[in-house]
Amino acid sequence: MRKNLHFYTYPSHQLPCVDNMILLGFDGKELSHEDCQYPLLILDGTWRLTKKIENALVGKPLRRSLPPLFKTAYPRRQEDCLEKSKGLASLEALYLAHLILGKSVEGLLDLYHWKEHFLSKNQLQINKLFC
């Protein structure tokens, strides 16, 4: 377990105030290295549940999105997914956000079943982040 990651279970945990936290989603300007001083918030759950969690947040997060060219390797089965072509698995989004923010990605994908598929599918876009 990484000490710099915190997990909260909704609704059984009190969620932290999200003022000056970056909330990753489909809206907002693109995440950049200039955002590295803010804590990152990723909501993980079904599409319907994440909307519920977002409505329960206290405070006003900074909305950011990831570059749109990244593709998930996760085999999505949800029928209610509004953005099937855009949606990434939470772990994939965390990995990419850490890359963009200049934070360590060491070990993040080690136990991810689709790690190799995700990295190979997005290698060109990942390389562009560093050009």
Question: For residue 81, what pLDDT is reported?
Answer: 57
Question: For residue 86, what pLDDT is reported?
Answer: 63
Under-70 pLDDT residues of the chain: 1, 77-86, 131
Question: For residue 131, what pLDDT is reported?
Answer: 67
Question: For residue 114, what pLDDT is reported?
Answer: 96
Domain borders along the chain are 22-129
- Which positions ≥6 away from 10 have C-beta within 8 Å? 45, 49, 52, 53, 56
Question: For residue 37, what pLDDT is reported?
Answer: 97
- In this prediction the pTM is 0.88
Question: For residue 50, what pLDDT is reported?
Answer: 83
Query: Which residue, among 118, 126, 73, 72, has the nearest Cα to 100 in the 3D structure?
Result: 126
The Cβ of residue 11 has, within 10 Å, a number of other Cβ atoms equal to 10
